[in-house]
Amino acid sequence: MSGKLIIVCAPSGAGKTTIVRHILENIPGIEFSVSATNRKQRPTEVNGIDYYFINTDEFTNYIADGAFLEWEEVYPGTFYGTLKNEIDRIWNRGNHVIFDVDVEGGLSIKRHFGTRAMLVFVQPPSLDVLKERLLKRATETEKDYDVRVSKARREMEYARHADKILMNDVLDQAKKDAFNIVTEFLES
């Protein structure tokens, strides 16, 4: 049963975290891979649950030590990465791994694990809808918002590399579709 990886990626604001939470709540035997980042912790986030929040020096030391399976400078000066020992921790518990990651990080993980991994791209209905979601979230400065929208335009092009594209137009339907996609992959 253990040993598979579900990689959920999307542009910021597309709903990947909501989809991942739904999968975790409804499919047993899957555990969340906590990513590391040097960005500031948001008020609603918990260190070790949402991310491992580390400073930039620690992050670059981990890079130099080869501790990351993958890492990206997602935004200028802001790093995210998956620690190798995080996957081992989850597999040693007999669980599958689910990732909520940046598009490029997701592609790196998929390349590394091949058919043992499934890359699901959460597709927003349009860039305009994505912009609205980011504005409603109200977690970024105007400058950060502009960077995220610009990056989202590029990331939408990566959907063609995914094993599955999950349209997130109507959230309840997207959750049902995600459940079916993941269940089918784990049973294969």
pLDDT digits (tens, 9 = 90+) for 81-121: 999 999 999 999 999 999 998 888 899 999 999 999 999 99
- The pair of structure tokens assigned to 175 is 């959750």
As a whole number, the mean pLDDT across the chain is 90
pLDDT score, position 126: 78
- The pair of structure tokens assigned to 103 is 């598009």
If pLDDT is split at 50, 70 and 90, which confidence band does 74 have? Answer: confident
User: Minimal CA–CA distance to 123: which of 23, 9, 20, 18?
Assistant: 9
pLDDT score, position 136: 76
List, in order of start, the domains of the chain with CATH numbers.
Answer: 5-187 (3.40.50.300)
pLDDT score, position 41: 95
pLDDT tens digits, 133-165? 777 776 666 767 677 777 777 788 888 999 999
Task: Please state, in angstroms and as integers, the Cα–Cα distance from residue 90 to each residue in 2, 56, 65, 184, following that order.
Answer: 9, 25, 21, 21
pLDDT tens digits, 36-64? 999 999 999 999 999 999 999 999 999 99
